[in-house]
Copies of this chain bind each other. A is one copy, B any other.
Amino acid sequence: MLIVMEANATAEQVAAVVRRIESVGFRGHPMPGATRTAIGITGNQGPVEAGVFEGLSGIAELVPISKPYKLVSLEVKLEKSVIHVGDAEIGGKELAVIAGPCAVESREQTFAIAEAVARGGARFFRGGAFKPRTSPYAFQGLGEEGLKILADVRDRFGLRIVTEAVDQESLELVERYGDVIQIGARNMQNFSLLKFAGQARKPVLLKRGMSATLEELLMAAEYILSEGNYNVILCERGVRTFAQHTRNTLDLSIVPAIQRLSHLPIIVDPSHGTGKRHKVLPMARASVAVGADGLIVEVHNHPERALSDGPQSLTLELYAQMMQEVAAIRGLVGPSKILHVA
């Protein structure tokens, strides 16, 4: 159920509706748009009685929601969400590029890469301090020490920090030191973690699970929004198939599919999506051409010595080349839009 307010409804009228929703035990989520505010309701089982809203002013109409997800849906908000991170943004006019190493390995390595990342024009820096690794015996990240290095990168280069949280404890640290909280593919349906992310005050980058359907991805995002955090960026990073020439199969066609259903921005990770350096540039170009709002790529000053994901990391030279190529394509394609083709 969705409550569409009149175009000239006041903040007080919106607040009154939210209070009424809460008075019957549910939660109201005001979603301001360019011409009107809509209020999503969560917590209800089945439809809400229209009578509940009697006597309130400023309401234009009550609209039933046809999809299993609500707050992420175009039904609730018909304009693209733009996620502001400091002076940078994701989902807006600019192509958002997040670049950096798989893992923060040391201050020297991180600063060397960050310098090149900033020079190349990306506004966001990636780098893991908490690494989910298949093996318990593999390098698990520097933890809080890594986060401090990342915070210093922000101070020094003005880059916004995107870094992964893997549980409640690391999420609190990432929220403190970083700018965007990344939830990795393996945790896309770690619903407990999603709820904590929904209570955080920083935007969340949510990566698609290895075999997640489009609907499962949107429902995972819905977990975050339903807790009150509306700043979610989706990320396609490849799915698991029989194909052996590639680490994962990058499913670029989910980008236009999402843009017909949701207002959330969506970016693409061609590094994990392919696992091979020679594919990263071509697939980065394709990602921008298909209409993605941004890219997240792995860059390393010495890929052959990287503690993780070396074979898929761009060298600094290839990164610089990529930035030029994708800027040119973005110039042609323009910012992403909500799709209305039948």
Q: A241-B239, A250-B253 are in contact. Are A219 and B134 (CB under 8 A)?
A: yes
| Stretch from A75-83, A92-100, A281-289 that touches the partner | A281-289
Do B239 and A132 have beta carbons less than 8 Å apart?
no
Can you list 26 residue pairs at the A/B interface with Cβ under 8 Å? A42-B136, A42-B137, A43-B137, A45-B137, A133-B191, A134-B216, A166-B191, A166-B192, A190-B190, A210-B210, A213-B242, A213-B243, A214-B243, A214-B245, A239-B241, A242-B242, A243-B254, A245-B257, A253-B279, A256-B278, A256-B283, A260-B278, A278-B342, A282-B291, A283-B290, A288-B289
Number of interface residues of A (CB under 8 A): 77
Do B256 and A279 have beta carbons less than 8 Å apart?
yes
Do B134 and A189 have beta carbons less than 8 Å apart?
yes
Which of chain B's residues have a CB closer than 8 A to the CB of A226? 136-137
Encode contact with B along A258-301: 1 for CB under 8 Å, 0 otherwise. 00100000000000011011110111011111110000000000
CA distance A25 to B225 in the complex (A): 44
**A223 in contact (CB, < 8 A):** yes
**A329 in contact (CB, < 8 A):** yes
CA distance A135 to B287 in the complex (A): 29
Do A192 and B213 have beta carbons less than 8 Å apart?
no
CA distance A136 to B191 in the complex (A): 8
Q: How far is the CB of A70 from chain B (nearest CB, A)?
A: 8
**A318 in contact (CB, < 8 A):** yes
**A333 in contact (CB, < 8 A):** yes
Which of chain B's residues have a CB closer than 8 A to the CB of A286? 252, 286-287, 289-290
Q: A190-B190, A245-B213, A332-B328 are in contact. Are A136 and B283 (CB under 8 A)?
A: no
A6-65 interface (Cβ within 8 A of B): 42-43, 45
**A168 in contact (CB, < 8 A):** yes
Which of chain B's residues have a CB closer than 8 A to the CB of A42? 136-137
**A231 in contact (CB, < 8 A):** no
CA distance A115 to B61 in the complex (A): 48
Which of chain B's residues have a CB closer than 8 A to the CB of A190? 166-167, 186-187, 190, 193
A318-342 interface (Cβ within 8 A of B): 318, 325, 328-329, 332-333, 339, 341-342
Which of chain B's residues have a CB closer than 8 A to the CB of A215? 134, 244-245
A138-154 interface (Cβ within 8 A of B): none
Which of chain B's residues have a CB closer than 8 A to the CB of A291? 282, 285
**A211 in contact (CB, < 8 A):** yes
Q: Which of B45, B135, B223 contacts A222 (CB under 8 A)?
A: B135
CA distance A10 to B243 in the complex (A): 43
Do B135 and A219 have beta carbons less than 8 Å apart?
yes
Do A342 and B282 have beta carbons less than 8 Å apart?
no
Residue of B nearest to A187 (CB): B190
CA distance A219 to B190 in the complex (A): 19
Q: A136-B226, A137-B42 are in contact. Are A249 and B241 (CB under 8 A)?
A: yes
CA distance A189 to B167 in the complex (A): 12
**A240 in contact (CB, < 8 A):** yes
CA distance A273 to B252 in the complex (A): 11
Which of chain B's residues have a CB closer than 8 A to the CB of A241? 239, 241-242, 249, 251
Q: Which of B187, B277, B285, B341 contacts A278 (CB under 8 A)?
A: B341
